[in-house]
Amino acid sequence: MDALADVLTAAKVGGTVLARVDVAAPWGIEFPKLPIAVFHTVISGSCWLRRPGADPIRLTTGDLVLLPVGAGHVMSGAPSGPATPYDDLVAARPGHRESEVHIPGPGPRTRIICGGYRFDGRVSRPLLTLPPVLVLPAVHGEAPERSELADTLRMLTAELADPRPGSQTVIDRLTDVLFVHILRRWTAEQGDHGTSWVLGLRDPQVAAAISLLHEDPAQPWTVEELAHRVGVSRATLSRRFTDLVGEPPLAYLTHWRLELAGRRLRDTADALPAVARSVGYTSVSAFSRAFTRQWGTPPSRHRTDQHLP
């Protein structure tokens, strides 16, 4: 079981290029808060990422930044100064594709690719546990996660620069692939810092435990059984899992079960007892209580909400 693929599938993650930005200083673009993950990669030149309450971050050619929960932010040619809302820039260019933004000016020129990843916000808890900003500086090296990310960006840039039949499909697929490489690269460079389910995937035993939980979430797992299956002691697995993922194995399992239940309520007409059993609950009432604690609404209401027009 590929736990990363499982999470991305459950959350229905799908990427697309939002804009190709070609600007000259002075410039500033304000991106609103959106229910998507947003990335920017600098093709040439330099710029600043500005977020409310945070220090500006300078980005140069080859750098990439991901905002996993689409927080409102500004991309600009300077660490301060005015910014024009992105929607206004698009509206000012009637007849042009939304994916093209140009701002003329006397100063240095910068080119950026801006993209987004839409995901089901109701089945996305693992994505929401990522840091608010992931910055991947341009580097050169032999590590696979570095060359794979750079290669994907080169192919994406080339496809955008010279569209051919089928280009939109290629661009969408490359954008999806890019997200995986972003997570791989970020995970590889974190060292011993931070906690996230993604970081847990780099530890062989923790990754194996996560895969077992994903492969059979209805199993009445115990930490002892998980530890035995992955070849470490109960204490070692509990410590390493909690240190890397940020919560103990069975707490992670509970949250994942209820994520899957939310997905099944959204995508199927299965009766509540069947949904409960599919994620390891023999009692509908116990399932309903747990579901309501995590989602803030009972399963039946949750299903109704997902099918509102």
Q: Is the peptide bond before 26 cis (omega within 30 degrees of 0)?
A: yes
Instruction: Grade residue 228 by pLDDT with cuts at 50, 70 and 90.
Output: very high
DSSP letter assigned to residue 188 = H
pLDDT for position 127: 61
Lookup: tokens for 106: 């006397």
97-145 pLDDT, tens per residue?
A: 547 888 999 999 999 999 988 876 555 555 656 788 999 998 765 566 6
What residues form DSSP beta bridges with 66?
Answer: 39, 134
pLDDT for position 201: 79
Give every CB contact of residue 259 below 8 A, 6+ residues apart in sequence: 10, 123, 125, 126
Instruction: Provide the CA 196 distance to its chain's centre, in angstroms.
Output: 12
pLDDT for position 140: 61
pLDDT for position 202: 79
Three-state DSSP class for residue 298? coil
Distance CA 259, CA 176 (A): 22
5-19 pLDDT, tens per residue?
A: 777 776 677 888 888
170-211 pLDDT, tens per residue?
A: 998 999 999 889 888 887 777 656 666 777 777 889 989 988
**167 has a pLDDT exceeding 60:** yes
Give every CB contact of residue 98 below 8 A, 6+ residues apart in sequence: 18, 19, 90
How many alpha carbons fall within 13 Å on the CB side of residue 108?
10
pLDDT for position 74: 97
**21 has a pLDDT exceeding 80:** yes
22-75 pLDDT, tens per residue?
A: 999 999 999 998 878 899 999 999 999 999 999 999 999 999 999 988 789 999
Distance CA 222, CA 233 (A): 12
**165 has a pLDDT exceeding 60:** yes
Calculate the average pLDDT of the chain: 86
pTM of the model: 0.77
